Amino acid sequence: MEIKEIQGGVCAPKGFKANGIHCGIRKNKAKRDFALIVSEVRAAAAGVYTSNLVKGAPVVVTKNNLTDGYAQAIICNSGNANTCNADGLEVANEMCRLVTEVGGIPASDVVVASTGVIGQKLDITPMRQHIGELWLGLGDAGEFAAEAIMTTDTVKKSVAVEFMLGGKICRIGAIAKGVGMVCPNMATNLIFITSDVAITSEMLQTALSEDVKTSFNMVSVDGDQSTNDTCCILANGLAGNQLISGKGSAFKSFCAALNYCTVKLSKMIAKDGEGATKLIECRVVGADRKCTAKAVAKSVIKSSLVKAAMFGEDANWGRVLCAIGYAGVKIDVNAVDVSFSSKSGEICVCKGGYGVDFSEEEAKTVLSQDEVTILINLNTGSSSATAWGCDLTYDYVKINGDYRT
Amino acid sequence: MEIKEIQGGVCAPKGFKANGIHCGIRKNKAKRDFALIVSEVRAAAAGVYTSNLVKGAPVVVTKNNLTDGYAQAIICNSGNANTCNADGLEVANEMCRLVTEVGGIPASDVVVASTGVIGQKLDITPMRQHIGELWLGLGDAGEFAAEAIMTTDTVKKSVAVEFMLGGKICRIGAIAKGVGMVCPNMATNLIFITSDVAITSEMLQTALSEDVKTSFNMVSVDGDQSTNDTCCILANGLAGNQLISGKGSAFKSFCAALNYCTVKLSKMIAKDGEGATKLIECRVVGADRKCTAKAVAKSVIKSSLVKAAMFGEDANWGRVLCAIGYAGVKIDVNAVDVSFSSKSGEICVCKGGYGVDFSEEEAKTVLSQDEVTILINLNTGSSSATAWGCDLTYDYVKINGDYRT
């Protein structure tokens, strides 16, 4: 099946409109902070959420609203996570009702999300004052929505693809935010996906739950798992394909197109990690089991020492071995090979658990690129996994040393 | 029982001599890199080691040498970890034999340790050339040994105490190194403990294994677990107390004195964490179970975002809640209280899972001290635990961006 990237983000699928404006939650008036995505018809909906026991109020409300498997709109603010607030649920529910007031969409068909500082009250007033403006501006403005959900993100994260199902053109669009507090366990930060595919709520949930295992759940920026992780998908059926209600070939095609979008966003999230100067990909092959490959890939991508070495463009592979060793899974240390690669080439630094001679200069050239792969062969099987992260830099410390003020 | 701090470090207990010199493993001639600690008689010995699957060769050799429960000397180099080297075991065994050559102590009674870069060959030559000088200089030089085991440590870590057992004066002395790759799972980095207490090898191992659970295993600098963690204790019996062979009151007294030393070193390790400007203590009380308290304390102390906020003296308590939430243990979020305290006072920032009004200025004053406590009351039981760590700073990144060159 051919998957073709197209323009339009979340507005690429038929029947979806979006908008993003500045309503005043953030002090910087140039920064949009209030987003809305709406489907012209009610859509099958599915979600995956943070497994942090401390959950943002919007996570609780969204989960509740999606129990029936349907939704029609997504409302989101940035600048405040609405988490650990006594009136959090009230405010999150009120955000849903704002959509009812301006658009007549039942509050129970609204996905609500918030992102920003934890533990500061979220005032509904600026949103109430600007919901009319937000609604009236709905159109082909997926980019505005992508911008409005950003916090310390430096780039907008948006993608859309087109593919065929039974002769019908289908589309998936998605936006994401997330640069810090990124170490998802169910999904990462905020991801909103739209599609015009006709699919049941059950199969949509199955597709999404499977998908995050190899996409967003394999991303780590700093090992801190957010309280507000929410990944939601709305599929409104307007593409006119035959309804996907089981695990046939149409379902597989849909999953492939979905994974194309989510992996692309995963890499964008990792590369835009707070303070990051480069995307680090850790690809583990030759594992005896999938879970071994995953655990090793995540352990390496999360190591502060590996991340700092990547920033310093230092081929300190001993730290990679070290992180493999404490991954908590059984591996044969004396079978492990490690290479670094980038568009400048590939260099093997460790064979069978021991160092090999290599040119430090050549290694520095490989590591100086803005996308670097750490390739690990466990040489004990045929399972593999890939995780994405970034380097650890002065700017990560700077950004997080005084985030609130 | 009174525990009195005394001078002398590892040489404080009767019958122990030590030395530390520069032999040439490090380029900087002003830095000692070769240490030796010797007991004049064979001593009961016990050890705890890294649980990293990638183990330094010295760890393997030391474990083997201590299987009979006795040792008489500790030899250690810094500047090279002798890990992931094809000839690692050979070199580690050779280091033990050097002690036999100059001092007649059987190689199987030698504890050997190495610390520094992973994956670079350790040349025995400089050690062979200087072992005579090291041996001849043995004396009351615990400070030289403490210096010789340092890597990026900025301060020597040494402690000694005196206490009474059945009318006899007993002593424990200890030195430690460890500032990065600190997240022990059995012990941390290198800790060498000496004592003149008479105790069986079995009880010594029991004491040490129990001790590390509340001391070194509760320290995290960067979440990276070293390949070379080794904590060894030698007790030579020269204090003349009645042999401790069971869990009576003398054993309890010994354990209390030992814990005094190990907790003091744990705090020194945390405070000297790479790039750190302050010691962070996380004290969890009111837990339903000990393991819950421990998991929460370690999760908070390891959070990059909490660590960066501490560096920025920013009372961003939402990050503390977040780290509690992903600790992987069951807690009641709506029962959690959080305070920050230091010698400047104590300030409550969260009650029952929600934020309370507090003065940001006052909080900044509390957090500006060089030792800060994060106090968490889970309010669901009576178990408690304490973990130690440090803030995350620009200098951590600087130190680790280019460690090898």
The mean per-residue pLDDT over the stretch B229-242 comes to: 92
Cβ pair A396:B396 closer than 8 A: no
pLDDT of B188: 47
Task: Look at residue A405 and tell me whether its pLDDT is greater than 60.
Answer: no
Terminus-to-terminus CA distance in chain A, angstroms?
49
Active-site residue, from A188, A227, A230, A393: A188
Please give the Cα distance from A302 to A392 (Å, whole number): 10
Q: Which among B119, B354, B394 has CB closest to A86?
A: B354
pLDDT of B180: 66
Q: How confident is the model at residue A187 (pLDDT cuts 50, 70, 90)?
A: very low
Q: Which among B54, B121, B305 has CB closest to A321?
A: B54
User: For residue B275, is it left (φ>0), alpha (ψ between -120 and 50) or beta?
Assistant: left
Cβ pair B355:A85 closer than 8 A: yes
Chain B residues inside the 8 Å CB shell of A84: 318, 321, 350, 353-355
pLDDT of B222: 72
**Helix, strand, coil content of chain A in percent (nearest 5):** 35, 30, 35
Q: Which among A225, A311, A400 has CB closest to B309?
A: A400
Question: How does pLDDT run across A51-99, given as a tens digit for each residue?
Answer: 788 889 999 999 999 999 999 999 999 999 999 889 999 999 999 999 9
pLDDT of B184: 54
Question: How does pLDDT run across B304-335, given as a tens digit for each residue?
Answer: 889 999 999 999 998 899 899 888 899 998 99
A262: annotated active-site residue: no
Task: Please tell me the distance in Å from A87's CA to the nearest CA on chain B.
Answer: 10
Q: How confident is the model at residue A188 (pLDDT cuts 50, 70, 90)?
A: very low
pLDDT of A230: 85
Q: How confident is the model at residue B187 (pLDDT cuts 50, 70, 90)?
A: very low
pLDDT of A183: 60
Highest mean pLDDT among A135-149, A209-223, B386-400: A135-149
Question: How does pLDDT run across A248-291, given as a tens digit for each residue?
Answer: 999 999 999 999 999 999 888 888 888 889 999 999 999 999 99
Q: Is the ipTM of this complex over 0.90?
A: no
Enumerate the active-site residues of B: 188
Please give the Cα distance from B15 to A284 (Å, whole number): 52
Please give the Cα distance from B166 to B173 (Å, whole number): 20
Task: Please tell me the distance in Å from A237's CA to the nearest CA on chain B.
Answer: 37
Buried b / exposed e across B306-344, counting CB within 10 Å, b at 16+?
bbbbbbbbbbbbbbbbbbbbbbebebebeebbbbbbbeb
The SS3 call for residue A272 is coil
Cβ pair A223:B302 closer than 8 A: yes
- Chain B's closest residue to A57, CA to CA, is B354
The mean per-residue pLDDT over the stretch B116-137 comes to: 95
Cβ pair B397:A311 closer than 8 A: yes
When the pLDDT of each residue in chain A is averaged and rounded to a whole number, the result is 91
Higher-confidence residue of A154 and A149: namely: A149
Alpha helices (H) along A75-117:
88-103
pTM of the model: 0.82
Q: How confident is the model at residue A243 (pLDDT cuts 50, 70, 90)?
A: very high
Task: Please tell me the distance in Å from A224's CA to the nearest CA on chain B.
Answer: 6
Enter the DSSP assignment of B50.
Answer: -
Please give the Cα distance from A205 to A210 (Å, whole number): 8
Chain A residues inside the 8 Å CB shell of B376: none
Mutation pick from B114, B316, B398 vs chain A, by most beta carbons of A within 10 Å, is: B316
Task: Please tell me the distance in Å from A348's CA to the nearest CA on chain B.
Answer: 14
The mean per-residue pLDDT over the stretch B87-103 comes to: 97
Q: What percentage of chain B exceeds 90 in pLDDT?
A: 72
Question: How does pLDDT run across A18-36, given as a tens digit for each residue?
Answer: 999 999 999 999 899 999 9
Please give the Cα distance from B10 to A92 (Å, whole number): 60
pLDDT of B220: 80
pLDDT of B225: 75
Q: Which among B119, B400, B401 has CB closest to A317?
A: B119
- Chain A's closest residue to B314, CA to CA, is A402
pLDDT of B1: 79
pLDDT of A186: 42
pLDDT of B119: 84
Task: Please tell me the distance in Å from B325's CA to the nearest CA on chain A.
Answer: 4
- Chain B's closest residue to A222, CA to CA, is B304
- Chain A's closest residue to B349, CA to CA, is A119
- Chain B's closest residue to A330, CA to CA, is B53
pLDDT of B404: 58
pLDDT of A181: 65
pLDDT of B190: 85
DSSP A207-240: HHHHHHHHTGGGB-SSSPPPS--EEEEEE--TT-
Task: Look at residue A403 and tell me whether its pLDDT is greater than 70.
Answer: no
The mean per-residue pLDDT over the stretch B42-68 comes to: 91
Q: How many CA atoms lie within 13 A of B184 on its CB side?
A: 31
A387's tokens: 């995780």
